Structure 1
């Protein structure tokens, strides 16, 4: 018996093999189907997906035999990987100097015929073989040879798919950890900043309430008002940064809720001056979606309508429809609107239009809205109002969560 030589690039080959995380995994139907087909096409008792490890050949799939592995020094597949660009065929092992006294030939499973098609990585390293085995001499037809090679390519595709899925899982885990770190950082940062800001805000209120006479009708009074406005802006900015970090990292929770009740709750919580009129069309119904997600979406939109309203009343109209897969919303107000050239810009983080009417716009609200809708599988756009009146018109959809 002659054991196979070790490939000159064995160290690199084993390193690439390790990247597939295939060794000692559980059986899978996809691989078992291929070995069954290979056995049927080549009319052999046994077919294997054999992976050549450092000291063994391990079977990812074994059709017609119960073994899970054999030592590498007696493995036919160890010879096969030395010629990774061609079929390795032994028509009659009893007449081959390398195999006539091989334990696998003279004992169970009595390997007399062997044909192995290489399983090569994308880098060209041989990982193992798709092989067919019989206990009597055999000669494959050209069609059988071609079929065995084609099936081996399917095994490689399964291996590559597994590798890519593992890489994707690792990447997703890394992103999840980074999001958690970002969320923790945002929380720590906002917490550390809010304390001194609250302190400054408190001192400003003391100056304005207890020492107003010192600043009355002076330039200092204007400066105090400006500082107070800027403090409020920074406080809003910190809160919205924290909110943005949460909505882009927290898990989505789906539940049943009434859309009209959701919108009424938002308006009741922010419309202390009774300046918002809601025109809700087809909204007094329940949907199954992310309640907290849509709460934050509409809260941002309604807050913007109220903030930038240039009319005595902010009239907000929300329309709803649905189909088998999606929920659709149209949101309109009677505010100054947004010029079409800015329709993409307003959804970018920290982008503002520099409105002279309101300088407390952080440029985070609509970015948060877009991030939430994207996480729900949807998309949001601006468009012109159908009635050609002034004001914004947001059109967005989200996908329905399939329930069992």
Structure 2
């Protein structure tokens, strides 16, 4: 018996094998199926997916064989990985100087015929073979050889997919950890900043109501009002940051709901001065999407329309269309509009057209953008039709099949 010498790049090859985290893993149907197909095509009783470890060959799939591993010194596959660019075929091991007295030939499982297709990774390392075995001399025709190579490629594809899935799981865990840290930061920010902000707001109100006589000077009154205004802005900023953090980390839940009823309930809850009138086009229907997500989108849009209106009444129009993939909404108001030069910027964090009015923090549209993107959609700002005043916000979100 001749023992195969390790490849020249054995150290790197073993590192590559270890990176797949496949050794000693549980049986998997996909690998077992490939071994069974190889056995059927090549008409052999045994087919193995064999991986060559430092001191052993280990079988990820072992069709027709009970053993899960053998010593590397006995492994036919240890010879096969020395010729990674071609099939390694032994038609009759009893007549081959390397294998005639091999314990796997002279004893169980009585390997007489062997054909191994190399499992070559993307970085060029042979991890082992997809091999077929018989206990009598045999030859393979060209179609069987080609099929064995193609099946070996599928094994490598499964290994690569496994590796990428594991890497994705690690990334997801890291993202989850970062999101948890961000949530903790946001709540800590709320606790640590809101308390002193509320305290300052309370003191300002006490000075304005109970000690107004102290502020005879008009300039002093203006300074006091400025402090109150800036503290209001800081309070809104903290709330909006917390809301943005929550929106980006909560799970998306899809359900069927009536979108017009949802929008009307939003208007009822935030239109305290009865400024808003809204017309609908094809909106009175039930859709399947994230109810909470779309509620947050329309609540931000309607709040902005009310907050920044330059009219006595806020006139809204909302249109819904649907195709095979998306719901498309067009939301228009009769406000002052947004100049084209600023239409991309207003979706960036803290970007505003003005911080002087209504303590706008520049986070509302960033939140809207984030929700729409999480729902698989896109958005844009457009001019209203017929040169009307205002702005139209068009966005689409993916249609989900919750029955799948």
* TM-score interval for Structure 1 and Structure 2 normalised by the shorter chain: over 0.9
Tell me what 2:398 maps to.
399
Tell me what 1:300 maps to.
300
Matches within 5 A, 1:204-353: 204-353=204-353
Tell me what 2:364 maps to.
365
User: Does residue 133 of the first structure (1) align with residue 133 of the second (2)?
Assistant: yes
Which SS does the other structure have where 2:387 is aligned? Answer: coil
User: Does residue 387 of the first structure (1) align with residue 374 of the second (2)?
Assistant: no
Gaps of 5+ in 1: none
Matches within 5 A, 1:95-134: 95-134=95-134
Which SS does the other structure have where 1:100 is aligned? Answer: coil
Tell me what 1:157 maps to.
157
Matches within 5 A, 1:191-210: 191-210=191-210
Tell me what 2:51 maps to.
51
**CA distance in structure 2 between the partners assigned to 1:263 and 1:17 by the alignment:** 56
Aligned residues of 2:307 and 2:358 also touching (Cα < 8 A): no
- State the shift of 1:129 in Å: 0.7
Tell me what 1:378 maps to.
377
Aligned residues of 2:314 and 2:335 also touching (Cα < 8 A): yes
Aligned residues of 2:254 and 2:402 also touching (Cα < 8 A): no
- State the shift of 1:170 in Å: 1.2
Tell me what 2:72 maps to.
72
- State the shift of 1:142 in Å: 4.7
- State the shift of 1:51 in Å: 1.2
Which SS does the other structure have where 2:277 is aligned? Answer: strand
More deviation, 278-287/326-335: 278-287
**CA distance in structure 2 between the partners assigned to 1:201 and 1:85 by the alignment:** 76
Tell me what 2:24 maps to.
24
- State the shift of 1:218 in Å: 1.6
Which SS does the other structure have where 2:397 is aligned? Answer: strand
Which SS does the other structure have where 1:336 is aligned? Answer: coil
Aligned residues of 2:46 and 2:64 also touching (Cα < 8 A): yes
**CA distance in structure 2 between the partners assigned to 1:105 and 1:41 by the alignment:** 23
Tell me what 1:5 maps to.
5
**CA distance in structure 1 between the partners assigned to 2:355 and 2:208 by the alignment:** 27
Gaps of 5+ in 2: none
Which SS does the other structure have where 1:263 is aligned? Answer: helix
Aligned residues of 2:255 and 2:402 also touching (Cα < 8 A): no
Aligned residues of 2:288 and 2:402 also touching (Cα < 8 A): no
- State the shift of 1:276 in Å: 1.8
- State the shift of 1:196 in Å: 0.6
- State the shift of 1:184 in Å: 1.3
Tell me what 2:82 maps to.
82
- State the shift of 1:41 in Å: 4.0
When residues 220 and 174 of structure 1 are mapped into structure 2, their CA distance, relative to the original with a 3 A threshold, is same
- State the shift of 1:308 in Å: 0.6
- State the shift of 1:57 in Å: 1.7
- State the shift of 1:256 in Å: 3.4
Which SS does the other structure have where 1:295 is aligned? Answer: helix
- State the shift of 1:202 in Å: 0.7
- State the shift of 1:195 in Å: 0.6
**CA distance in structure 1 between the partners assigned to 2:316 and 2:109 by the alignment:** 79
When residues 193 and 355 of structure 1 are mapped into structure 2, their CA distance, relative to the original with a 3 A threshold, is closer
- State the shift of 1:118 in Å: 1.5
Tell me what 1:42 maps to.
42
Which SS does the other structure have where 1:387 is aligned? Answer: helix
Aligned length: 403
RMSD over aligned CA atoms reads: 2.1
- State the shift of 1:91 in Å: 2.2
**CA distance in structure 2 between the partners assigned to 1:161 and 1:3 by the alignment:** 33
Taking structure 1 as the reference length, what is the TM-score of the superposition? 0.92
More deviation, 64-73/150-159: 64-73
Taking structure 2 as the reference length, what is the TM-score of the superposition? 0.92
**CA distance in structure 1 between the partners assigned to 2:7 and 2:192 by the alignment:** 60
More deviation, 126-135/53-62: 53-62
Aligned residues of 2:112 and 2:134 also touching (Cα < 8 A): yes
**CA distance in structure 2 between the partners assigned to 1:110 and 1:176 by the alignment:** 52
User: What does the per-residue CA deviation read over 1:294-320, in whole Å, with 9 as the maximum and x for residues that have no partner?
Assistant: 111111101110111000111122122
Aligned residues of 2:345 and 2:351 also touching (Cα < 8 A): yes
User: What does the per-residue CA deviation read over 1:150-170, in whole Å, with 9 as the maximum and x for residues that have no partner?
Assistant: 332222122112111111121
